[in-house]
Amino acid sequence: MMLNMDRSQRLVIDTDAMEWQPSPAAGVNRKPLEREAAESGQVTSVVEYLPGSQFASHLHPMGEEIMVLDGVFEDENGRYPAGTYLRNPPGSQHAPASREGCRLLVKLNMFQSQDQAPVRIDTAQQGWLPGLVDGLSVMPLHQFAQDGFSEQVALVRWQPGTRFNPHSHFGGEEIFVLEGRFEDEFGAYPAGTWIRNPDNSRHQPFSEQGCLILVKTGHLARLQGVYQTCQPS
């Protein structure tokens, strides 16, 4: 059941081209991007809730991270429209559902052990900060450091024609393209693309038409270390 768990490998997946797979809950479908086991362990997926669907209450031993891509997601704690960023800490439990239907980017069981703060951010209500180059705007969503590993999550908006400097990512980088088209010297990535660049990878990103991306950095070296430890010798 293991899928794409070697974080030392670069991955580019057009999630819009993938077929939906049924989950154990009726009306809830998913597209697995990386998966440790069928219904447990570390997972990254795009998840679809059809209108009126719900999932049984369940526990997240090492946390859950969600970006609402469209529609309205909900649980017993609230309702979360498109653009909401959520973090449910290790040991949390909820019963998710969607009356209207929704799509989510979901990451399970990848938190650092002391990362215990719940996060609920409606990004439509948040302000932007200037980026490091003209045409770039940043909205920080989360940051946490433990045991020498620092994880950052942010939205980054690229105006048309914006180019960034060549750079490396200590700890690796994940990108999900939310709008427009993101690019670098290796290719062009339309909305719905998930990119995983491994620890110390290097690139020079740009966007000719403009884009909005969800970026997560610094975490892949830690996760790769866990993966290597779990492999048979």
Supply the pLDDT for residue 231: 47
CATH number of 11-122: 2.60.120.10
Note the pLDDT tens digit of each residue in 191-225: 999 999 999 999 999 999 999 999 999 999 888 75
Instruction: From residue 33, give the alpha-carbon distance in Å to each of 47, 76, 178, 196.
Output: 11, 27, 16, 10
* Residues 6+ positions from 226 with CB-CB distance below 8 Å: none
Note the pLDDT tens digit of each residue in 121-139: 999 999 999 999 999 999 9
> Kindly report the CA angle at 125 between 123 and 127, in degrees rounded to 5?
80
* Residues 6+ positions from 138 with CB-CB distance below 8 Å: 128, 129, 130, 131, 154, 155, 156, 157
| Residue (of 172, 177, 165) closest to 110 by Cα position | 172
Q: How confident is the model at residue 233 (pLDDT cuts 50, 70, 90)?
A: very low
Could you check whether 11-122 and 123-223 share the same CATH topology?
yes
Q: Domain 123-223 belongs to what architecture?
A: Sandwich (2.60)
With a cut of 60, say whether residue 10 has pLDDT above it: yes
Supply the pLDDT for residue 225: 54
Q: How far apart are CA 209 and CA 4, in angstroms?
A: 30
| Residue (of 99, 65, 93, 63) closest to 81 by Cα position | 99
With a cut of 80, say whether residue 227 has pLDDT above it: no
Q: How far apart are CA 221 and CA 169, in angstroms?
A: 10
- Predicted TM-score (pTM) of the model is 0.94
Task: State the average pLDDT for the chain.
Answer: 93
Domain assignments of the chain as residue spans, ordered by start: 11-122, 123-223
Helix (H/G/I), strand (E/B), else coil: 74: strand
With a cut of 90, say whether residue 149 has pLDDT above it: no
Contact indicator for 98, 71 with CB cutoff of 8 Å: yes
Note the pLDDT tens digit of each residue in 79-119: 999 999 999 999 999 999 999 999 999 999 999 989 999 99
Q: How confident is the model at residue 1 (pLDDT cuts 50, 70, 90)?
A: confident
